[in-house]
Chain A
Amino acid sequence: MRYGSVAILLTLAVVAGAAVFAVASAARNSTAAPASDTHSTTPVARTAWGDPDFQGVWRYEAVIALERPARFGGREFLTDAEIAQIQQTEKDQEANRLAGVEGEAVGRQSIAASPIRGNEYNSFWQDHGRPRKVYKQTSLITDPRDGRIPYTPDAQKADARAAARYGVGPYESYLDPDTGERCLTDGVTGMMWQGPNGGHNQIVQSPGYVTILHEEYRDRRIIPVDGRPHSNIRQWFGDSVGHWQGDTLVVDTTNFVDKTNYEWASIWTRPSETLHLLERFKRTDADTLEYTITVEDPTTFVKPWTAVIPISKVPDGTQIYEYACHEGNYAMPNLLSGARANAASKTAGR
């Protein structure tokens, strides 16, 4: 469960409608501006070979719900009063964290309030370390304007099913835990910003390549930016080719393998053969990467959707560490053994 918890924040926000956070951004596809800040006009740093330099360790440190919570009633931006209140909450929680306080006072859900069984365990891994940045967006999704994922009716059912099975099962086979619990991946779509177990991404550039190391599941993307065409090999992360459009890195990814038959913690991250992912990375100031994704997949969505995600640079010298998930996946045999004992005891009672 620990390892499958990567999508838990979003699941919380979406499923429970319990997201307290929110924020930012102008109209669709525009810059996700910090609520308290204006854009720096510092020129973009460049690598020795002249590409815009995005190198470093990055982490999503705002907590904006992917989908707009119903309580905003369709409103796209927070009011100044709401922003001030959230900023105060962040400050208070930071102080409480430093004071060693646990539970709701540091923004974690109590066991009683947890909408998902098992989440009290996951919440341990969700320490954000420092106050989160507050943005005006009320949802990461900027298109469609209602801030909701435009699921097909079938996908809507699959999403509800995925939420219902999280932390509950069934665990009839090793195929029943989700891809995260199986230590495979949580999918490329949410890779740049999901991950309460850390969510750190290191970007390393070399001539002709931008490589992204996602700490969780040790997911890795080596993105060529040398003008080559797509390959025709289907993969979990598809085939990515990038190019520079001014100071923006544009990455086009196709040739995903169909893994819709597997369990996903969040089904909007699952790859299918019809998935097409378009990503834009733009450094809006020294410490912020504006990451925009447009997700198109008629297998799951009735129309493409776009999310604008502000990602923060963590201090220089931050390392990402080895994520030996499968190597230490004691949860898998224990989960299956437990489920078998449980099933056997029910049979015995009949």
Chain B
Amino acid sequence: MPTWFKTALVAIVAAIVVGSVWAQVRSSRRSAGYQPARTADGKPDLSGVWQALNTANFDIQSHPARPALALIPAAPRTGVAGLVRATPTDIPAPAVRALGAVGAVPAGEGVVDGDEVPYQPWAAAKKKENVEHWLERDPEIKCFMPGVPRATYMPYPFQILQGTDTILIAYEFAGTTRTIHMNKVGNSPSPSWMGLSRGRWEGDTLVVDVTDFNDETWFDRAGNFHSDALHIVERYTAVSPYHLMYEVTVEDPKVFTRPWKMRMPLYRRTEKDKRILEYKCVEFVEEAMYGHLGVVDPATGHTNK
């Protein structure tokens, strides 16, 4: 074998080795080591049924367990003078009392970066008031569309369906669907519950910019809220075949002093043939919403309540 040939061979092999190592390093930097499956057009395949497993829908901030979402102060105890009695604590409000442990709130770690929601002073006061009026005000109770990002971490699964220019996120709760426009799309003609979603790929991350919200939705059952100036940026990144990392940036200059972030893993529902089922909750809330209007007795014309 001529020397020039050996030299050339060594150089070629070295180039291939160096090149492939460099490519691996580059791709691992880009996607934290995990290479997601690809769709037919080469995009990361995020399709499947997913669900959050946390207590963020109760409260996006860290919270201890408590007896109920709606609490009232217990009546003070009058006892024999000079004898110590157990201190009165908040107890479940009459409307939810019969639920017992089913109506209690599990403790949970917060999903907010730094565990602080940076409300403006007036907004912090309103948040507190929302807690006191949770039963009347939480849109979840009325089966209203949950908004973004709350829809993601409610205790129901959702399905990502990757179409050609459109990605759908189909939520089980209230049969709500979001259309993520991957092509150019005009602004929404009116504010909406689920907002207008524009998607793009940043490396292997699906980034969704969501605007055109109304001010009706909440972030959780703890009264965390926003205005119609809400701007959400979501980032969905596959980190294993079974996990997505979900990051949200929340911006609302009318309510918060600065943008803030939430992050959480989403888990694949791996049951065979897992479906998103119907949850048409409208008929489940009609009694709560309209029952107070009673039923007309056609014989007498009286309304029975």
Known interface pairs A174-B286, A182-B286, A206-B47. Does A343 touch B179 (Cβ–Cβ under 8 Å)? no
Give the residue of B161, B216, B289 whose beta carbon is less than 8 angstroms from that of A206.
Answer: B161
- Could you tell me if B170 and A222 are in contact, using CB atoms closer than 8 angstroms? yes
A219 contacts B by Cβ under 8 Å: yes
- Could you tell me if B193 and A184 are in contact, using CB atoms closer than 8 angstroms? no
Give the residue of B168, B175, B216 whose beta carbon is less than 8 angstroms from that of A219.
Answer: B175
- Could you tell me if A340 and B294 are in contact, using CB atoms closer than 8 angstroms? yes
Chain A contact residues (Cβ within 8 angstroms of B): what range?
A: 35 or more
User: What CA separation (Å) do A266 and B136 show in the bound complex?
Assistant: 35
- Could you tell me if B301 and A346 are in contact, using CB atoms closer than 8 angstroms? yes
- Could you tell me if B162 and A206 are in contact, using CB atoms closer than 8 angstroms? yes
User: What CA separation (Å) do A219 and B297 show in the bound complex?
Assistant: 34
B300 contacts A by Cβ under 8 Å: yes
Nearest-neighbour CB distance to chain B for A320, whole angstroms, equals 8
- Could you tell me if A322 and B194 are in contact, using CB atoms closer than 8 angstroms? yes
B11 contacts A by Cβ under 8 Å: no
Give the residue of B216, B278, B283 whose beta carbon is less than 8 angstroms from that of A327.
Answer: B216
Interface window among A6-14, A157-165, A331-339: A331-339
Cβ contacts under 8 Å, B282 to chain A: 182-184, 326
- Could you tell me if B163 and A55 are in contact, using CB atoms closer than 8 angstroms? yes
Cβ contacts under 8 Å, B125 to chain A: none
User: What CA separation (Å) do A237 and B165 show in the bound complex?
Assistant: 27
State the main secondary structure of chain B at its contact with A. Answer: loop
Nearest-neighbour CB distance to chain A for B296, whole angstroms, equals 4
- Could you tell me if A202 and B296 are in contact, using CB atoms closer than 8 angstroms? no
User: What CA separation (Å) do A328 and B41 show in the bound complex?
Assistant: 40
Known interface pairs A218-B176, A220-B177. Does A322 touch B301 (Cβ–Cβ under 8 Å)? no
Known interface pairs A322-B194, A326-B282, A327-B145. Does A47 touch B164 (Cβ–Cβ under 8 Å)? yes
User: What CA separation (Å) do A175 and B301 show in the bound complex?
Assistant: 17
Known interface pairs A170-B296, A218-B177, A220-B170. Does A205 touch B188 (Cβ–Cβ under 8 Å)? no
Known interface pairs A235-B278, A237-B278, A327-B145. Does A211 touch B161 (Cβ–Cβ under 8 Å)? yes
Please report the number of residue pairs spanning A and B whose Cβ atoms sit closer than 8 angstroms: 135
Cβ contacts under 8 Å, A47 to chain B: 40, 164
B290 contacts A by Cβ under 8 Å: yes
Give the residue of B166, B177, B216, B296 whose beta carbon is less than 8 angstroms from that of A339.
Answer: B296
User: What CA separation (Å) do A207 and B38 show in the bound complex?
Assistant: 12
Q: Closest residue to A233 on the B side, CB-wise?
A: B277
Interface centre among A170, A171, A204 (most CB of B within 10 A): A204
Cβ contacts under 8 Å, A320 to chain B: 179
A231 contacts B by Cβ under 8 Å: yes
B62 contacts A by Cβ under 8 Å: no
B280 contacts A by Cβ under 8 Å: yes
A81 contacts B by Cβ under 8 Å: no
B1 contacts A by Cβ under 8 Å: no
Cβ contacts under 8 Å, B175 to chain A: 218-220
For window 200-239 of chain A, which residues contact chain B by CB distance below 8 Å? Answer: 202, 204-207, 209, 211, 213, 218-220, 222, 224, 228-229, 231, 233, 235-237
A173 contacts B by Cβ under 8 Å: yes
Which 5 pairs between the two chains have the least Cβ-Cβ distance?
A347-B301, A48-B40, A204-B163, A172-B296, A174-B290
Can you list 21 A-B contacts with CB-CB less than 8 angstroms, sorted by A residue number? A55-B164, A55-B165, A172-B296, A173-B296, A174-B291, A206-B168, A211-B161, A211-B170, A213-B177, A213-B179, A218-B177, A231-B273, A231-B275, A319-B186, A324-B144, A326-B143, A326-B144, A332-B290, A339-B296, A343-B301, A347-B300
